[in-house]
Structure 1
Amino acid sequence: MTTASASAPAAFPETHGREKGYDRVSVDAFLSRARAAFESGDDPMTAADVREAAFPLVRRGYAIASVDAALGRIEDAFAARERESALSGRGGVRAWVGQTRETAQVVLDRLSRPRGRRFDRVSSLRYGYRIDEVDLVTDKIARFLETDESVSVEQVRSVAFRMQRGGYREAQVDAVLDAVVEVMLAVS
């Protein structure tokens, strides 16, 4: 006797061999919750919740790139709904633009710090993001915020940094990248 989930086709391509992917049960549960939240509007799920979703890595899991691409589209849908709601709500366009500008200015202030000092660093015994790589990416983001140089949401979402001892604190860098995505989705 087979269960419905055993006979249903996989939602995403699966990994093979030693390659790990996202735990299928966790991904399916999250996507089910996200769909229900979006369709009903009762669940307070936000674009930020989608962006922050994390899943255990397992063998024979879903291919990471495929799931991440789907999560990007879901985040875009939630962000568009949030923008529409904010624009039609109290304060309207002026409040939305003001909040977005404020967030962009906070990010820009952080990124205008000298190279090598934009984020806290971990101790020399621990690993953090490579400073030179983060500074290179944040330089490009700063130019985007200042001059509208071309940077896509997908480029920011998919950025990955190698690790180094004494590197930048990951949580701070990730928080700034999340804020950049929020600003980009707010104005798109």
Structure 2
Amino acid sequence: MPDLFPRAGATKLGYRRDDVDAYFAQARHVYEQPGAADDLASFDVRRASFGLARGGYSTASVDSALDRLEVAFSARVKERFIKEHGQDAWMAQLAERAQSLYPRLRRPAGERFDRPSGLHGGYAQADVDQLLDRLTAFFDQGKPLTADELRSATFKRRSSWAAYEERVVDAYLARAVDILLGAA
């Protein structure tokens, strides 16, 4: 069977080919089944992870394909919902989900998420707050922001006194990505 993605190189780490091949075979199967798109929701695509191995698939290529797969599944869920309930119901549901993000957006900068426990570092508060300010501007003023921008956001690492807990920020941004994909 030919490789699905370019390889990282014989001496470089990449995603384990068997893991990636199996995941994408499953995703194709689910996507091609009528009515089965909900079995592999876009959030599940975002949570996909693969082991690393020398000579594995290029991580950038696989990650890019995962982003496209997430968009495809999200579009299918949206299409199915609109067909069954209508565009107005979709927009109402999307607005309700967006409202669930507002409490953190309304908190003062530096207080939007918990700090990491103990001596562990985390994401720089200033970097995360800047991205959340952009998300607020998207919701309140219609300023441009894409799901890709949220997905590809990177944050400097800081010690616990100037950082946010990474897992909580990641989960929050995953919810925001779902909303932005639904609005596209």
Unmatched tracts of structure 2, length 5 or more = none
- State the number of aligned residues: 180
Q: Which residue of 2 aligns with 1:118?
A: 112
* Deviation of 1:164 (Å): 2.2
Q: 1:140 to 1:17 in 2, by over 3 A?
A: farther
Q: Which residue of 1 aligns with 2:82?
A: 87
| Aligned-partner Cα distance in 1 for 2:11–2:168 | 32
* Deviation of 1:18 (Å): 5.2
| Aligned-partner Cα distance in 2 for 1:141–1:157 | 13
User: In the TM superposition, what whole-angstrom CA distance separates every residue of 1:97-137 from its partner, at most 9, and x where no partner exists?
Assistant: 12210121222331221111111111241122121211111
Question: What CA RMSD, in Å, does the superposition of the two structures yield over aligned residues?
Answer: 1.7
1:40 counterpart = 2:36: no
After TM superposition, the score normalised by the length of structure 2 is 0.89
Q: Which residue of 1 aligns with 2:73?
A: 78
* Deviation of 1:33 (Å): 0.4
Out of 43, 46, 50, the position equivalent to 1:51 is 46
Unmatched tracts of structure 1, length 5 or more = 1-7
1:143 counterpart = 2:118: no
Out of 116, 125, 131, the position equivalent to 1:131 is 125
After TM superposition, the score normalised by the length of structure 1 is 0.88
**Please, which moves more after superposition, 29-38 or 105-114?**
105-114
* Deviation of 1:165 (Å): 2.3
Given that 1:14 and 1:21 are in contact with CA atoms closer than 8 Å, whether structure 2 keeps it comes out as yes
Other structure's SS at 1:129 match: strand
Given that 1:46 and 1:79 are in contact with CA atoms closer than 8 Å, whether structure 2 keeps it comes out as yes
Q: Which residue of 1 aligns with 2:100?
A: 106
Given that 1:24 and 1:61 are in contact with CA atoms closer than 8 Å, whether structure 2 keeps it comes out as yes
**Please, which moves more after superposition, 177-186 or 27-36?**
177-186
Identity rate, percent: 38
Letter of the 1:179 partner, please give it: R
Other structure's SS at 1:96 match: helix
User: In the TM superposition, what whole-angstrom CA distance separates every residue of 1:68-108 from its partner, at most 9, and x where no partner exists?
Assistant: 1111111111111100111122x433332122101212223
Other structure's SS at 1:122 match: coil
Q: Which residue of 2 aligns with 1:169?
A: 165
Other structure's SS at 1:16 match: coil
* Deviation of 1:17 (Å): 5.8
Q: Which residue of 1 aligns with 2:153?
A: 159
1:186 counterpart = 2:146: no
* Deviation of 1:36 (Å): 0.2
Other structure's SS at 1:84 match: helix
